[in-house]
Structure 1
Amino acid sequence: MRKGAVVFRDYLTELPLIAILRGLKPDEAETVGLVLAEAGFRIIEVPLNSPDPFRSIEILAKKLPAEVLVGAGTVLEPAMVDGVHDVGGKLIVMPHADPEVIRRAKEQRLYCTPGVATPTEAFAALKAGADAIKIFPAEAIPPAVVKAWRAVLPRETLVLPVGGIKPDTMKGYVDAGANGFGLGSALFSPGLSVEEIGRNARAFASAWRDLRRG
């Protein structure tokens, strides 16, 4: 990661894959976080509808290497932003594009990636201060649509499809202009062993690197 002021884009440089740990429990947070960091992941989010999510975020923020960005997903209200900030989280990920939540994240100097499903929402989110846009749900927004969005969005916009992404479905989105992905149940789901999570993480990392070499 480059020296000087760190921007959200810097965390996407080596491996632009966001680990979404929905259902993570605090007692497994450190172990799961470390296996993801070892696989090269530099962004981890714990959705706030997980068990005791603020405790998990606090553990991850304290125990993982400084170069790993830790934050929350499924952030629905401005007050939730304050809770994430208070436990050391630095990233706000949303399923929607509520400008009040985005503005609160920026007031707290947190990175913010709102979810959008139309160009109208994307432009409104960027105007409110979003650091990137989360195309959600990606299952309903195929690469051809992402390519059309790319033609009108500001060139520097970071575009991250989320929802149903697997190692073998990334290429179409990358060809259409995606900058990275949010990864859910194909990477982590409650009940998976640490070994299984590690294998999934390495498979995604390998698939991404193969795309870059191609």
Structure 2
Amino acid sequence: MFRADIVNRIEATGVMAIVRTETIERGIEIAEGCLEGGVDVLEISYTLPNAGEVIKALNESIGDKVLIGAGTVLDGETARLAILAGAKFIIAPNFSKEVAKVTNRYQIPYAPGCSTVTEMVEALEAGASFIKAFPISNFYGPSLVSVIKTPIPQMPILASGGITLDNLAQWISEGVDSVGIGGLLTKGSKLQISENAKKIREIIDNTRKNKVVK
């Protein structure tokens, strides 16, 4: 799978589940619930030491039906390990030139966390495929997207933090390329996760459709 194909898939889905799980079994359950609800992009967080094992297991059990990436990747060593485990994209709360170098080498999309426009532009110049608006998405809300994209319309933004069912439509209307969602897509039973995923999918699809009509 080429980097452009991965980027296009992330943008098309418009949302990724942020997964932190202590067991492979629970990871598979979450992935199946998300998939049933129409969310096929998952970020497995390296805040837990078994993230690589979960990524590998999901790729083996579900395959290309779900696009699996790695999150909370702070350094180049972790990035390489995640990619070798099968991660198709790399997400981080920080910007690291070392991680950018590794992901470019393997042609894997990289979304570093940035808080200032200067940092965002520097990350783009280093080859980032998306800019993760973190932690500023929590503080500024959906209007942050248009504020950034007005002077820099080519800035691909992934928002993570502060996204809910109540404000998701506004995030999409403002032009965010993708959003990261944790609890709604990772807590509860597989059925509950699937139902939340369906609600999220419906909001994104309807908002995008109405935005095109305008």
Q: Scaled by the length of structure 1, what TM-score is found? A: 0.88
Q: Which position in structure 2 is the counterpart of 1:66? A: 64
Tell me, in whole angstroms, the C-alpha distance in 2 between the residues paired with 1:88 and 1:69: 10
Q: Deviations over 1:64-95 (max 9, x none)?
A: 24253211100011000111112111111000
RMSD over equivalenced CA pairs, Å: 2.0
Do the aligned partners of 1:32 and 1:197 also contact (CA within 8 Å) in 2?
yes
Q: CA deviation at 1:188?
A: 1.4
Is the partner of 1:46 in helix, strand or coil?
strand
Contact 1:73 1:94 in 2 (8 A): yes
Which whole-Å CA distance do the structure 1 matches of 2:103 and 2:42 have between them? 17
- Which deviates more, 162-171 or 8-17? 8-17
Offset at residue 164 of structure 1 (A): 2.0
Aligned partner of 1:52 in structure 2 is 50
Matches within 5 A, 1:19-58: 19-50=17-48, 52-58=50-56
Match of 1:98 in 2: 96
Q: How many Å apart are 1:6 and its aligned residue?
A: 4.1
- Among 181, 187, 206, which residue is 1:210 paired with? 206
Retained in 1: the 8 A contact 2:30–2:193? yes
Offset at 1:157? Answer: 2.9
1:134 aligns with 2:132: yes
- Contact kept, 8 Å, 1:164 with 1:184, in 2: the verdict is no
CA positional deviation for 1:171: 2.4
For residues 58-207 of structure 1, the aligned pairs below 5 Å read 58-137=56-135, 138-153=137-152, 155-189=153-187, 192-207=188-203
Change (3 A) 1:132 1:5: closer
Q: Which stretches in structure 2 are left out of the alignment for 5+ residues?
A: none
Per-residue Cα deviation, 1:95-136 (whole angstroms, up to 9, x for no partner):
011121122111122111111111111101101100111111
Quickly say closer, same or farther: Cα 1:144–1:29, change in 2 above 3 A: closer
Aligned equivalent of 2:14, options 10, 13, 16: 16
Query: Secondary structure at the residue paired with 2:183?
Result: coil
What is the TM-score of this pair, normalised by structure 2? Answer: 0.88
| TM superposition shift of 1:139 | 1.2
Distance (Å, rounded) in 2 between the aligned partners of 1:31 and 1:184: 15
Aligned residues: 209
Q: Deviations over 1:39-63 (max 9, x none)?
A: 2223211100135111101011222
